[in-house]
């Protein structure tokens, strides 16, 4: 039998028979690893240990010590839920049940479920786990699967679309119950240490509002009860930090029904924060040689057809007729920037050209997916587009990454970086893709960045580097991106004159330092629990006169701090109540002033951590505020011990 070669994480190569599975390869490495194998990651995709390998596959073996193990366990927990549900409700129709970052969900039809039903289902799940049923993989002819699911149109659709052309399909069985599934799964239900069903919501088949409404049940699973308890505590903390609740308390934004779904209104306090974020990124852009441009919200659809967005994004675009012509609200800013570049002639000496725009875009997300600021119909991207010579890609990407990390340093967020490589459907030749991916990889490695590989997750027009934020609760959020684009310069016939006096095609680099203002605003609200650093806080200082007699002095102090956002609390309250209110309002600093302070020309300072100092000189306090603001420090630190 002929052999194939697979590549291991350390770069070494392993020869295995051409029909070898992930598990076979693990046994080739060592019998202990073979016995411990749960699944594999092949070319960046989590697969079952029974899946066959191909020549040149990038292989990672997954055991119960791997980061991916929890995904496998949760996938099995979704099956345990489905089995328990059908034991109690045999009429329930199953659709799909994937693992998620925090657990799993299963979408079901033909059954009415309420929150009150979850306890009984969870009890049945625990019985299935206690029984420790073996989880077995079965292969069946595809036609036999069609017969099995004669009354389940959802599974038949999966067989028609996702299993098209396959002779056999896989099922997973536990006890007398089984489900169509590619896996992977753990070896037995008893390996699931702890489960909890969390909530019920509505969903649509395939996420399309035109399709049938389904019931979605969310749950989570862990290896131990202790891990589950820690997660549930963190979940409660996340509820307390919910940006929608804090946004209402601090009057940052609202999304009233009258505006339409996913169309937030920013109140003065919220707009103050957004303006500070914008001012900072504008400053970074200008210092890095970007020129600011502006494009309209609306374009004739001829532009979107030329860019390719009409074919790829038409269903997600807002389209309208004007004087018998079709227009579309822009879902992206890049075609406008490409058009600006196309309005002039360029020499190689003029490149790179760097444009930036804080551009509002519109995407018609499914209503069920809209949530506060995390997913909206209207959002603003801190967009940048560079038009560069191919040989300058590495230098420009390195500079962009420097900007991103400089910006992120002011938010106390952990960052994860991934290189997303060529997808199956892509434009451009092998040589330019290989060169571009290698240039991005070189930037990451020469910069000493730890990064993962998102195999096949690049854009159809080029590879990219994706950044994600990890907040104070350990949750991950999509953030900045750097994308190479060989497609749009071709579609717009963009050129520059080279040293040889011939026309050459530039490469277009898409980059965003925040990602979108809405997403970073949401992340920061929850990450800081509304207690923003001084430079972002909508109110930076509140002056608390101990009595009406001190109001005059309070306003004089305010005038001296006019470069800051300062308010005087002049309501007829006790000092204690004023302090409590300022604390509840998350104001970084409080200045308490009375006759003693007026006589000495000082202030008493209190911060939101309840640290205090009396007799503070006004000039010293102002100078500290200036430094804390200008350096964009994370926490109020005037009274730091």
| In contact, 467 and 480? CB cutoff 8 Å | yes
**Quick one: which of 479, 339, 510, 356 has its CA closest to 413?**
479
Look at phi and psi of residue 288 and say left if phi exceeds 0, alpha if psi is from -120 to 50, else beta.
alpha
Burial 243-262 (b: 16+ CB within 10 A, else e): bbebbeebebbebeeeeeeb
* Three-class secondary structure of residue 478 per DSSP: strand
d(CA 596, CA 601) in angstroms, rounded, equals 8
Confirm or deny that 185 is annotated as ligand binding: no
Burial of 331 (0-12, 13-18, 19+ CB in 10 A): buried
d(CA 578, CA 217) in angstroms, rounded, equals 45
Confirm or deny that 504 is annotated as ligand binding: no
* Three-class secondary structure of residue 335 per DSSP: helix
Beta bridge partners of 603: 616
Residue 564: C-alpha distances to residues 536, 539, 629 (Å): 11, 8, 9
d(CA 70, CA 76) in angstroms, rounded, equals 10
CA angle 470, 253, 383 (to 5 degrees): 55
CB atoms within 10 A of CB 536: 22
d(CA 41, CA 48) in angstroms, rounded, equals 9
d(CA 484, CA 223) in angstroms, rounded, equals 40
DSSP readout, 563-592? Answer: TS-EEE--SS--HHHHHHHHHHTT-SEEEE
Interhelix angle 517-527/268-287, rounded to 10 degrees, is: 120
d(CA 349, CA 545) in angstroms, rounded, equals 62
Burial 81-91 (b: 16+ CB within 10 A, else e): bbbbbbbebee
* Three-class secondary structure of residue 636 per DSSP: coil
d(CA 427, CA 282) in angstroms, rounded, equals 33
d(CA 568, CA 82) in angstroms, rounded, equals 59
**Quick one: which of 509, 482, 394, 510 has its CA closest to 446?**
394
How many residues appear in the chain? 641
| Contacts (Cβ under 8 Å, ≥6 apart) of 443 | 394, 397, 398, 401, 465
Strand residues in 157-212 grouped as ranges (E): 168-174, 177-180, 194-204
Q: Fill in the DSSP letter of residue 392.
A: G
| Contacts (Cβ under 8 Å, ≥6 apart) of 403 | 284, 288, 513
Confirm or deny that 583 is annotated as ligand binding: no
Annotated binding site: 334, 385, 510
Binding site listing for Zn(2+): 334, 385, 510
């Amino acid at each position: 039998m002929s052999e194939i070669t697979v590549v291991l994480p350390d770069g070494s190569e392993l020869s295995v028979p051409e029909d070898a599975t992930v598990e076979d390869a693990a046994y080739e490495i060592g019998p202990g690893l073979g016995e411990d194998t749960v699944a594999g990651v092949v070319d960046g995709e989590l697969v079952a240990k029974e899946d066959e390998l191909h020549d040149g596959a990038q292989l990672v073996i997954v055991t119960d010590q791997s980061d991916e193990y929890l995904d496998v366990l949760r996938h099995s927990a979704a099956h345990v839920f489905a089995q328990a549900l059908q034991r109690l409700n045999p009429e329930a129709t199953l659709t799909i049940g994937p693992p998620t970052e925090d657990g799993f969900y299963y979408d079901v039809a033909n059954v009415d479920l309420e929150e009150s039903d979850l306890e009984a289902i969870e009890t049945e799940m625990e019985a299935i786990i206690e029984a420790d049923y073996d989880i077995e993989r079965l292969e069946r002819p595809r036609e036999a699967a069609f017969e099995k699911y004669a009354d389940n149109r959802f599974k038949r659709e999966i067989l028609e679309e996702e299993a098209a052309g396959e002779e056999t399909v896989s099922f997973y069985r536990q006890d007398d119950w089984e489900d169509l599934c590619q896996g992977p799964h753990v070896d037995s239900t008893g390996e699931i240490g702890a489960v909890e069903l969390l909530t019920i919501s509505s969903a649509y088949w395939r996420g399309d509002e035109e399709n049938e409404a389904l019931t979605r049940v969310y749950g989570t699973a862990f290896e131990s009860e202790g891990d589950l308890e820690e997660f549930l505590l963190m979940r409660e903390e996340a509820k307390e930090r919910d940006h929608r609740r804090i946004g209402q308390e601090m009057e940052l934004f609202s999304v009233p029904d009258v505006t339409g779904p996913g169309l937030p209104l920013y109140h003065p306090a919220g707009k103050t924060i957004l303006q500070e974020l914008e001012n900072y990124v504008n400053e970074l852009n200008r210092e890095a040689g970007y020129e600011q441009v502006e494009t309209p919200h609306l374009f004739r659809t001829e532009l979107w057809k030329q860019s390719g967005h009409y074919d790829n994004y038409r269903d997600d675009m807002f389209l309208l007729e004007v004087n018998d012509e079709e227009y579309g609200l822009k879902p992206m800013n890049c075609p406008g920037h490409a058009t600006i570049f196309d309005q002039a002639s360029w020499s190689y000496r003029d490149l790179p050209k760097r444009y930036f725009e804080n551009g509002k875009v519109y995407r018609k997300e499914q209503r069920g997916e809209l949530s506060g600021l995390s997913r909206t119909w209207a959002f603003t991207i801190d967009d940048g587009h560079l038009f560069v010579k191919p040989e300058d890609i590495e230098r420009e990407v390195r500079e962009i990454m420097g900007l991103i990390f400089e910006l992120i340093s002011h938010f106390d967020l952990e960052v994860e970086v991934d290189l997303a490589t060529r997808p199956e459907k892509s434009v451009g030749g092998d040589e330019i893709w290989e060169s571009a991916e290698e240039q991005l990889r070189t930037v990451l490695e020469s910069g000493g960045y730890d990064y993962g590989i998102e195999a096949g997750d690049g854009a159809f027009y080029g590879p990219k580097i994706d950044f994600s934020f990890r907040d104070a609760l350990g949750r991950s959020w999509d953030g900045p991106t750097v994308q190479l684009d060989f497609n749009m310069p071709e579609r717009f016939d963009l050129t520059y004159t080279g040293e040889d006096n011939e026309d050459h095609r530039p490469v277009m680099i898409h980059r965003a330092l925040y990602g979108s203002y809405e997403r970073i605003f949401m992340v920061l609200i929850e990450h800081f629990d509304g207690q923003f650093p001084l430079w972002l806080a909508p109110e930076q200082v509140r002056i608390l006169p101990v009595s009406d007699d001190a109001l005059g002095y309070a306003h004089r102090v305010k005038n001296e701090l006019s470069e800051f956002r300062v308010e005087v609390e002049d309501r007829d309250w006790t000092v204690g109540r004023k302090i409590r209110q300022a604390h509840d309002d998350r104001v970084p600093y409080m200045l308490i002033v009375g006759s003693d302070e007026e006589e000495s020309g000082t202030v008493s300072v209190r911060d939101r951590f309840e640290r205090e100092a009396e007799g503070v000189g006004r000039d010293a306090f102002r100078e500290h505020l200036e430094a804390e603001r200008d350096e964009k420090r994370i926490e109020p630190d005037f009274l730091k011990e």
